[in-house]
Structure 1
Amino acid sequence: MRGAKVFFVGIAIPFLMAATPQAQVFQNSVYSSVTTNSLLEQALDCMKGTSGEWSQKAILGENLTKKPIKVEFKNLSQISPMYATFDALGWKDGDQLYIYINNKHNNAPPEALASLLCHEAVHQDPFSSIEEETYGWGYEAKAWLQMKERKPELNNLDPNECALVRRLNTLESMFKAANYTTSKIRESVSTNPGYKNLPLYSPGFGK
């Protein structure tokens, strides 16, 4: 989901603290420019060897801004009450892209988070559309299928215990029901109230 473009002025108050072993791991990680959350680092690493490698590279800096995308868990209602139930939100402030994942997913399996990130990395400008969201949802479904093929035990997860797994299983079902195309996903996107004001096309996602 793409959020509106925002601008703000922040005042940072610097402080010093002793480096911990965990902090040192983050500093040495290829993902340290993206996140300091170990679960999100695992999610990014899960993209290797799947169609998610494109999104992994985009998050690491191969995107329209040429800068790493910052990824974090966040209470989305703090941005706006209208985002409270969103699973994730793409945001842009100046030339910095962010992916905010609803903090209700902070216990989700890294493979599920990786699939969600595949979708969100598609959004790299302030514009979105039905076609762009359809592509993102389809990408998410395909990545989740690949994660489950590589790690079959993901099929045994109880969707009632993990909202993100429930979402991904639903997308997977629509993808399979349409013979591995996005036709049913497009129908769902088109009727989703959250997308009611989106145009049909956006830059890079036209006819």
Structure 2
Amino acid sequence: MADEPGNQTPNTPDVSETDLRGMTVDELREEARQEGLPGTSGMRKAELVDAVAEAKQGHATGSDGSGDGPEDPDEVGAGPDGGRIRTGPETSKSLKYSQEITSPDEDPEREGRSLATTHHEVIKQWAESRGARPAAVEGTDHGDHLGVLRLDFNEDTDKLRHVSWDEWFRTFDERRLNFVYQEQRKDGKQSNFFILESPDREDA
């Protein structure tokens, strides 16, 4: 469908797939976010074109039946802020000088670059590629709320308690944390460096 010229979607005079195919992947993902489409972070360009055209068709014909607004952003793996950095009165210098990453498809501008994101899938992929699991520090919980969040790189310690990604991200979002990290060190080797930073200076 995405390889044919023109608009193949019936009853949608304003939806041109030719125009959509002329967009970059990032622009298409932004269109998809505006349409409230889930699961677009893993889509290829042709799939994004089809998905966005289909969503716009639903709006043009009034047949989407979804009620108001887009779906919960958590459904697309981006988190409530769409992967964007959270700022506040106490935003750190390290965060200000970090490259913002809002999609698993974005790459560092250079080796050793400081990166920052709130995108759930980006964080999960980064951790799992290093064999790390979501965890919290034992003895820091507040009732049924997790305490200090960490990632366990299979360290031999009894201070960490493994938790589910759902629990970890729920706490991460409730505290408005940012994930500041590196993909590679300056020498090109894989880096395990990360910090959890709050623009409100809450204990991470």
Q: TM > 0.5 between the two?
A: no
TM-score (norm 1): 0.31
Q: Max radius of gyration: which structure?
A: 2
Q: Relative contact order (alpha carbons < 8 A, sep ≥ 6): 1 or 2 greater?
A: 1
TM-score (norm 2): 0.31
